[in-house]
């Protein structure tokens, strides 16, 4: 095996982004949670990885530079610069003009030529959201929607956690579940630690965990506690490599548009509403619900 492909310890470095992702997913037990978080962030921000410095990446991801270095070495690269080469070539030509901004989303970035023009920003963000929704629509066949609905219907009580930007998603989903006559409790972390609130889960309960980069530590910790206690977890996140996805019974991934630190909720709310509607129809079919009165 050539020296350019293999580290001295015999670990072959990935030769493509797909191989990079596959190693993180298939060998996740070899990486720490922080490394997995860094790996998910790298896959979600490939242009930044290709074109920016470790310092910039650390500021944007809220992870330490050393985490990315450790990830690079653990996955088979000689160091961060070696890993960066994997992402640099295909994205170099896409570097934005200095006076423009880009709204990142699944179908290619939306360029905002004048960030001070709020009308233009709004129009571009709407187009980016539309592209994200189109991407989600095209992936629905790949997502375990029916299996997730089955798990929710079978649960004694559904607990939902989503912190920071994911808080309104968890809040709406818990409301919609209750409107469908499904016992649901939102883990808020208000008044007590989220981990303490998770401790009230009983046999037959289910946790729906919602988190996107930068993943809320409270959500990661609460999900780990629920999993360790033997409770089933459904993860709604951006990647199967997400720290909340480990050992989840179902993982539902969704990509939303993002401008700097502003991440849209359009895609994830559409996904959650899809699940809520599916659950409502299930409840109606068993005679538990009048859809005209659901108001969800």
The reply to whether 67 and 185 lie within a common domain is no
Average the pLDDT over 38-53 and give the result: 85
The reply to whether 146 and 131 lie within a common domain is no
CATH number at residue 184: 3.40.50.10490
The set of residues, in sequence order, having a beta carbon less than 8 Å from that of 293 and lying 6+ positions away, is: none
What is the reported pLDDT for 190? 84
The reply to whether 153 and 259 lie within a common domain is yes
The reply to whether 170 and 124 lie within a common domain is no
How far is it, in rounded angstroms, from Cα 193 to Cα 222?
A: 9
Angle at 236 between CA 209 and CA 198, to 5 degrees: 5
E-only strand ranges, 124-281: 158-162, 184-187, 206-210, 232-237, 250-253, 258-259, 262-263
Average the pLDDT over 117-134 and give the result: 83
Question: How do 158-162 and 184-187 pair as beta strands?
Answer: parallel
The reply to whether 277 and 232 lie within a common domain is yes
Q: Report pLDDT digits (tens) over 67-123.
A: 999 999 999 998 998 898 888 756 544 444 333 455 565 555 666 667 778 888 888
Per the document, the length of the chain is: 296
Residue 12 lies in a domain: no
Domain count, the chain: 3
Burial 38-70 (b: 16+ CB within 10 A, else e): bbbbbbbbbbbbbbbebeebbebbebebebbbb
The reply to whether 155 and 46 lie within a common domain is no
Domain of residue 51: give its range: 17-93
């Amino acid at each position: 095996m050539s020296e350019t492909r293999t580290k001295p310890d015999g670990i072959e470095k990935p030769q493509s982004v797909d191989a990079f992702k596959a190693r993180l997913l298939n060998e996740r037990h070899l990486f720490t949670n922080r490394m997995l978080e860094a790996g998910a962030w790298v896959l979600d921000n490939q242009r930044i990885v290709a074109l920016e410095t470790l310092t910039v990446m650390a500021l944007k991801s809220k992870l330490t530079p050393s985490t990315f270095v450790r990830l690079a070495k653990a996955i088979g690269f000689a160091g961060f610069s070696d890993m960066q080469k994997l992402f640099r070539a295909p994205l170099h030509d896409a570097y934005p003009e200095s006076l423009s901004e880009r709204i990142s989303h699944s179908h290619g970035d939306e360029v905002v030529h004048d960030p001070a023009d709020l009308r233009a920003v709004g129009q571009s963000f709407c187009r980016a959201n539309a592209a994200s929704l189109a991407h989600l629509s095209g992936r629905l066949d790949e997502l375990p929607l029916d299996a997730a609905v089955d798990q929710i219907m079978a649960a004694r009580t559904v607990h939902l956690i989503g912190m920071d930007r994911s808080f309104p998603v968890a809040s709406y989903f818990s409301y919609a579940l209750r409107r469908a006559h499904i016992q649901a409790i939102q883990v808020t972390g208000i008044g007590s630690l989220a981990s303490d609130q998770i401790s009230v889960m009983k046999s037959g309960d289910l946790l729906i965990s919602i988190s996107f980069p930068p993943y809320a530590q409270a959500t990661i910790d609460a999900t780990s506690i629920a999993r360790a206690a033997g409770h089933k977890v459904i993860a709604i996140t951006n990647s199967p490599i997400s720290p909340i996805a480990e050992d989840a019974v179902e993982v539902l991934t969704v990509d939303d548009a993002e401008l700097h630190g502003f991440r849209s909720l359009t895609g994830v709310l559409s996904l959650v509403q899809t699940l809520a509607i599916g659950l409502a129809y299930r409840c109606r079919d068993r005679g538990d619900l009048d859809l005209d009165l659901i108001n969800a």
